[in-house]
Structure 1
């Protein structure tokens, strides 16, 4: 294998550039030509690409986002779209493809492999919702971004003696809310994995006031409800002024943490090694301290995991 393509797809995540850098530099080290596909699968359909070398990825390890760009492609989900992408792959002479993204991106990689294109997936998503791996690229950075926001919001909440709900990303997976809430000392954490008990939340707020607390921080994963609706309900029950902060896309940006840079570097390099070792239809991940490779079909079927012990611990420590 002498020519490998790399693309980033779906939502961007801090550390994607570090993964691109690792793919390019390990690929060049091992004697490969690396082609960067622009704007994800949309770039495969429209023939948008650039030849990459060592200089192409200089000074990007610290940058958020993705230098290749990303886009969602409805056309690629069709048979006609995938066949169009296959024509481009054959025209350019790609012998393998590395896809950096989340579960939707991996499903696209699955389809290309069925068409005979060796593919390897690298997990890049801030939600940490790919269940075969302990961590995805970008999660640690997003969590630290949220943690910084918690610290700032706590200052003003304390000054005004308010309850503040912080809504973070996590449509189906509440890991950002759970772990940033645990690290930030939130009084309550509301997740899509756990049924909402508003009476319990309000009781905890009122008990805190009785002990002399001047504020409450509530973490809410976006998939568990509306921060605005929840704030109204809490204020009606407790009589305490309740404000909301919806962090939104700030969670996707910023310079990646050291953890994400190292993780992305290891995973990107591993993806190249997998292709050059003649394997395909794989995804890379991390288990403990080990970078692993799993069959993509099995990885996407891995049952959803939820760290109930961390949730219970956060509840105990916030009393």
Structure 2
């Protein structure tokens, strides 16, 4: 079966650097918190199951193209993939894993750099390659490969965000499910017939003609709740506990925890990393004794 290539950006698509206080419990319970090069990164809810799903396809190859530093990118992707696939799964894909960074971008004018997919795939692979990014940083001739992600930040997760798909904050916090819906539909389409290409289906749903003869991105693609629900349903096969993020769901995840109790019911995904060979140097019970003041310092110490 012909290969399908998916190239993922990192920042504001998979993760956001942690700068906000009192967000960690939401991400510890529903995503992950990783420490890379002395910085914390929130992994958005749904991203780990999405990666598991993408790597479950025999005909899909996943690569990464970031605007970060190569050292940071490789370490972050390593830790993220170990969470998603386990140490054994990561070692299996490590020899062929491609991670490109800002030094690999192509300068096309004095001020503009782009991510050229030919740094990852061969030209013959382009018709079956999907590039996911929150910025319009594609090489101009590769516009038909582009799947526009929303720009997600930890700040979008709040108690006063809207609860329907017309609210931009709701769209952003559920971006992993939007991407899952679009990507799985595309994988199914491309897998159905080797003659199918991304240009047949991806560009037309995202761009409209403008009056000057060019194209405008159609922001209304993010309003279709059905695509989020489809993506969620596909990822629930990986993790049945997944749900769309809402203000109530977020509020419940950051409510005060009684630290005299065992934290394991509250942090299942985070502490599941213990089963995958990651080093955490205190037990759940010891973590429960750490004061609120010192909790973030502890998270920063995790390697």
TM above 0.5, one fold?
no
Bigger Cα Rg: 1
- TM (norm. structure 1) is 0.33
TM-score, normalised by the number of residues in structure 2: 0.35
